């Protein structure tokens, strides 16, 4: 099997990307309908869709061959000094494993260098999130806490954290 390098272009998201972001988020197969609605509400707030843009949300998209294939959203955690939440990240499942999520995460971390001291990610403890948790492990995030049955019976909250260097 040969490996072909895939060029990943990172770019700002726009209102024109909303439908594709929704499609990507849905096709991951792990988010409930209410979670998808929250993701889209956060995206709308970030991009100013139907309201003034909220500067506390930052977004970024990833393209491969001119098609949006992933997105990420992050922002400062209220009432903290230098802590940021990675709110959403989703990559088209067809392209899992080629580096799209890693590219998005690295760019978020690069943009936060000098502003953030800590990034926090909340994810699920269900079995279908095992690859998601492995992704965060691979990116250098560490489990900071686990709360049993947080999202639903049998679905723990797993909180990952990563300390960020003070400069780029």
Mean pLDDT of 35-55: 95
For residue 118 the two structure tokens come to 């800590």
pLDDT at 119 over 50: yes
Task: Annotate the chain with DSSP letters as a single string.
Answer: --------EEE---GGGHHHHHHHHHHTS-S-HHHHHHHHHHHHHHHTTTS---TT-EEEEEEETTEEEEEEEEEEPTT-SSEEEEEEEEE-GGGTTSSHHHHHHHHHHHHHTTT-SEEEEEEE-SGGGHHHHHHHHHTT-EEEEEEEEEEETTEEEEEEEEE--S--
Residues above pLDDT 90, as percent of the chain:
93
CA-angle at 10, arms to 166 and 7, nearest 5°: 120
pTM greater than 0.85 (yes/no):
yes
Q: Domains of the chain by range and CATH?
A: 9-163 (3.40.630.30)
For residue 82 the two structure tokens come to 């230098």
Instruction: Look at residue 1 in the predicted model and tell me its pLDDT.
Output: 33
pLDDT at 168 over 80: no
pLDDT at 105 over 50: yes
Q: How far is the C-alpha of 67 from the C-alpha of 24, rounded, in Å?
A: 11
Could you tell me which residues come within 8 angstroms of residue 96 by beta carbon, excluding any fewer than 6 positions away? 131
Read off the pLDDT band of 2 (50, 70, 90). very low
**8-32 pLDDT, tens per residue?**
999 999 999 999 999 999 999 999 9
For residue 83 the two structure tokens come to 């802590």
pLDDT at 3 over 50: no
Could you tell me which residues come within 8 angstroms of residue 36 by beta carbon, excluding any fewer than 6 positions away? 22, 25, 26
Instruction: Look at residue 5 in the predicted model and tell me its pLDDT.
Output: 57
């Amino acid at each position: 099997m040969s490996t072909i390098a895939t060029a990943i272009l990172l770019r700002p998201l726009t209102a024109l990307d909303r439908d594709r972001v929704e499609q990507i988020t849905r096709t991951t197969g792990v988010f409930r309908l209410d979670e998808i609605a929250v993701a889209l509400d956060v995206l709308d707030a970030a991009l100013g869709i139907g309201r003034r843009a909220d500067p506390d949300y930052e977004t970024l998209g990833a393209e491969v061959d001119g098609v949006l294939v992933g997105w990420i959203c992050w922002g400062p955690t209220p009432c903290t000094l230098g802590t940021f939440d990675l709110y959403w990240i989703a990559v088209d499942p067809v392209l899992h494993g080629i580096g799209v999520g890693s590219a998005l995460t690295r760019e978020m971390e690069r943009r936060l260098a000098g502003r953030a001291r800590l990034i926090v990610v909340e994810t699920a403890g269900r079995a279908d999130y095992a690859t998601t948790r492995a992704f965060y492990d691979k990116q250098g995030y560490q489990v900071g806490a686990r709360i049993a049955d947080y999202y639903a019976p049998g679905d723990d909250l797993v909180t990952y954290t990563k300390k960020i260097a003070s400069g780029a």
